[in-house]
Amino acid sequence: MTNLEQSDPKVFAIIKREARRQKETLSMIPSENFFSPAVREAVGSVFMHKYTEGNIGRRYYEGCEIADALEELALERARQAFRLPGTWDANVQALSGSNANQAVYLALLQPGDTILSMYLPDGGHLSHGWSYEPSLPSPAEEPVYRGGSRKVNITSRLYRVVQYKTDPATQQFDYDQIEQIARQEKPKLLITGGTAYPRLIDHARMRAIADAVGAYYLADIAHEAGLIAAGVLPTPVGVADVVTLTTHKTLRAGRGAIILASRELIKKIDRAVLPGLQGGPHMHNIAGVCAGLGEAVTDEFRVYAQAVLDNTRELAQGLIEQGFRLVTGGGDKHLLLIDLRDQPLLGRPYARALAAAGIVANYNTMPQETRSPLDPSALRVGTPHSTGRGMRAAEMVQIAGWMREVMEAAASWQEMKFEAFDEAARQSPDLQRIAVAVRELCVRFPLPLSAFAVTEGVH
């Protein structure tokens, strides 16, 4: 990065600080990962200079022959990585997971149609539609949520969104209840997937529910895409009507999104992406996605994906042994949700205390949530990033132990206002001691990224 250092030392200094932060702290956020030097080089390539509005062989600009070759290779690798049936194809142009979902809605629905998706506080995603009534929280015992007047996402503004909740007893999907809601609400689209559901989804059952009411079934696998590509989790490809995914989480393929569906639906989705939602695709991101997909079909990636699952189980056991209660009792994929209602600290202050100790997680809502999303009851943690650094069972046990130490160290500040709490966390000798130990662990398991050499020698 010598060019940047010379031409813009302020930006260079900020990047250097972020590189150091990533090197010396533990990212336990399940939606975060890091990319190989090859993926990063592809994203930073000359393809960022080229405008390629249109599709392969049908661009609105000249000079796109080489870009066509890149996008076709990305499509070919998507077909291979996700083992598409012969009647299916892909779109790699959507800029993000939310864009990909919007493209599916635009292709398959009319404004005002009903969508049935997962209740946001239980682990659903904003792009699946969210609205609420500020003064009237949804009663936890009601299995269905029909939203409110405050429509905070474009999906809820354009479509009628109804949401199913998890079962209060198990905190997991009650498929019979979802089917009953579907028969009552008659959606045109049924959606699964979200940001904080730690268990597997029965895609065949969901498809049967959709079929029973004449709906399309969309499986959003943004979080577990890499684990599905590696074959360590069951796939909805060939079961759902459409599958959407982001490329930067467990897939480790740069920033972007992929849509998978039958060729008949992909033709509609292509038109929804362009001209429906976007102009030209970001070819440098597609280059990164292409390089990452090439890595995702290797034996090394399959070993990594299995290790993510193994580490999740080890971390879950470690947290339970440290006295933490897990939503659904554990997790089947790469993430866990910790129910903190029986602990001294809830999600937001606990996340801040952990960050002061070098452990980066995120506060989150949980099933039967009664608090604001800005100050919720749970903490979300995951294993993709730490697994990629080479950490395994012993390190998961150690991390769980540190998380208990942080809770005990910060418990005495629980009555403080958040600003005072934050200051106490940053000044705490106990949390600083843990941060040093975390840094030492990160040195033992360095990020395998040559570009991070920018911070070598900075301590």
- 325-326/189-192 β-pairing: unpaired
User: Do residue 105 and residue 163 come from a single domain?
Assistant: yes
Final residue of a domain: which of 272, 296, 320? 296
Residues 205 and 69 grouped into a single domain = yes
Q: What is the pLDDT of residue 107?
A: 98
pLDDT at 402 over 90: yes
Contact (CB, 8 A) for 74 and 293: yes
Check if 455 is active-site: no
Q: What is the CATH number of the domain that holds 346?
A: 3.90.1150.10
Per the annotation, the verdict on 61 as an active-site residue is no
Domain residues for 390? 309-455
Asked whether residue 37 is domain-assigned, the answer is no
pLDDT recorded at residue 454: 35
Residue 4 lies in a domain: no
Q: Are residues 265 and 356 in the same domain?
A: no
Note whether 319 and 273 are same-domain residues. no
Say which range, 133-137, 152-156, 436-440, has the weakest mean pLDDT: 133-137
- Two tokens at 396? 């998961």
Residue 453: its pLDDT value, please? Answer: 38
Q: What is the DSSP string of 413-445?
A: GTTS-HHHHHHHHHH-HHHHHHHHHHHHHHHHS
Place of tokens 């990160």: 442
Note if 255 is an active site residue.
yes
| Whole-number pLDDT of residue 194 | 84
Provide the CATH number for the domain around residue 124: 3.40.640.10
* Rounded Cα distance, 337 and 435, in Å: 23
Q: Choose one of 296, 320, 339: the last residue of a domain.
A: 296
User: Is 53 an annotated catalytic residue?
Assistant: yes
Q: Are residues 291 and 317 in the same domain?
A: no
Per the structure, how many domains does the chain have? Answer: 2
Same domain, 379 and 249: no
Q: Assess whether 78 and 128 both reside in one domain.
A: yes
Question: Of these residues, 23, 207, 249, 352, which one is catalytic?
Answer: 249
From 25, 195, 235, 246, active-site residue = 246
pLDDT bucket at 217, cuts 50 / 70 / 90: very high
Q: Which is catalytic among the residues 20, 83, 160, 255?
A: 255
pLDDT for res 138? 59
Query: Do the domain assignments include residue 5?
Result: no
Q: Is position 375 annotated as part of the catalytic site?
A: no
Evaluate if residue 333 carries a pLDDT over 90. Answer: yes
139 pLDDT more than 70: no
Asked whether residue 272 falls in the same domain as residue 336, the answer is no
Indicate the residue among 296, 317, 343 that finishes a domain: 296
Question: Does 63 map to a domain?
Answer: yes
Burial 290-321 (b: 16+ CB within 10 A, else e): bbbbbbbeeeebbebbebbbbbbbbbbbbbee
CA 160 to CA 146: how far, in whole Å? 8
Mean pLDDT for the chain overall: 95
**Any catalytic annotation for residue 51?**
yes
Model confidence pLDDT, tens digit, residues 346-380: 999 999 999 999 999 999 999 999 999 999 999 99
| Options 20, 50, 51, 325, the catalytic residue | 51
Determine, yes or no, domain membership for 31.
no
pLDDT digit string (tens) for 9-67?
A: 999 999 999 999 999 999 999 999 999 999 999 999 999 999 999 999 999 999 999 99
Backbone angles phi, psi at 446, to 5 degrees: -70, 155
12 domain-assigned: no
